[in-house]
Amino acid sequence: MKNYINIILICFALMFTTSCSDSSDSITESQIDTTPPILNNLDIWLRNNFVQPYNIEIQYKWDINDTDVDRFLHPPFESSVRPVAEAIQKAWIEPYNQLGGPDFIKKIAPRQFTLVGSFNYNPNSPTITLGLAEAGTKITLFNIDFLDFTNINSIKQPLKTLHHEYAHILNQNIPFDISYGLINPADYTAQWFNISNEEARELGFITAYGSSQEGEDFVEMVSEMLTNSKQEFDAIVDGITSDRAREIIRLKESLVVEYYQTNFGIDLYELQALTHEATQQLVN
């Protein structure tokens, strides 16, 4: 009986060994495409100037099927990419690194920029989305195919969006003081798109979009300061007729300046001067 059991155990062992051997022999080539991508000159330039030094990807090749079909979005022309990338480099990365230290953008930055050639019209709304910041890791810039780099106001548009969205990312790392939202809370409105920038300024907001909520109010102050010289920004504020509104905006300005200095050791007025100079140099 014992011999019979031993024979059975030996048979099972042989079957198991054979099964393992068959499984090993059946392994085929991976179905994952590991072929290195073919890089063009633009891809190489982007890797050398963004990926390698800052671990930031500039994504301009993407599938339209991955987007909302109601948005009619499309990738940009390759010819539109480098001018925008250079604007990001010169008017955002370099000024922040100059004042915050060479590793500032390495430490706090979105890890991906997605560039979109078309406008992002919002369904059922008279508004256009110029940019998005997603969880502090990604910024999307829209309508870059329509930028005119001979016109400084056209150049300012993506930079204003960039400074706006990056200020959101800074706020996600270190929130601004809650007292900011208590300055004129009753004037925030969900119908911000029904008023002009000029009307919003008479209420104490630097732009109409800034009147939508306190978080947008804060980052709109940042973006307006960093896409205008101090003289230009002062002219905007001094042009407000309401004494109360001017005082409110100046108070908000002081809180934004304090936030940058206290939390990041950056003088916002120095940063303003650097971004203004860099923006001027981008004009063809």
Q: Looking at domain 41-281, which of 1.10.10.60, 3.40.390.70, 3.90.1150.10, 3.40.50.9100 is its CATH number? A: 3.40.390.70
Query: pLDDT tens, 173-229?
Result: 999 999 999 999 999 999 999 999 999 999 999 999 999 999 999 999 999 999 999
Place of tokens 């971004």: 275
Pairing of strands 128-129, 120-121: antiparallel
Query: pLDDT tens, 231-273?
Result: 999 999 999 999 999 999 999 999 999 999 999 999 999 999 9
In which band, very low, low, confident or very high, does the pLDDT at 31 lie, cut at 50, 70 and 90? Answer: low
Cα of 11 vs its chain's centroid, Å: 64
Q: How high does pLDDT run on average in the chain?
A: 89
Query: pLDDT tens, 114-125?
Result: 999 999 888 877
Between the alpha carbon of residue 199 and those of residues 1, 176, 214, 221, 264, the distances in Å are: 100, 26, 17, 16, 33
CA-nearest of 239, 260, 262, 264 to 249 is: 239
CA-nearest of 54, 48, 50, 51 to 84 is: 50
Angle between helices 152-173 and 268-281 (to 10 degrees): 150
In which band, very low, low, confident or very high, does the pLDDT at 135 lie, cut at 50, 70 and 90? Answer: confident
In which band, very low, low, confident or very high, does the pLDDT at 128 lie, cut at 50, 70 and 90? Answer: confident
- In the predicted model, is pLDDT for residue 1 greater than 60? no
- In the predicted model, is pLDDT for residue 95 greater than 90? yes
Which ranges of 26-114 does DSSP label H, i.e. alpha helix? Answer: 41-46, 52-54, 78-88, 94-100, 104-107
Percent of the chain predicted with pLDDT > 70:
86
Q: What is the pLDDT of residue 25?
A: 53
The residues that bridge with 140 in the sheet, in sequence order, are: 114, 132
Percent of the chain predicted with pLDDT > 90:
73
- Is the whole model's pTM more than 0.95, yes or no? no
Can you tell me the distance from the alpha carbon of 126 to that of 123, in angstroms, rounded to the nearest whole number?
8
Can you tell me the distance from the alpha carbon of 99 to that of 167, in angstroms, rounded to the nearest whole number?
16
Query: pLDDT tens, 62-90?
Result: 887 766 667 788 999 999 999 999 999 99
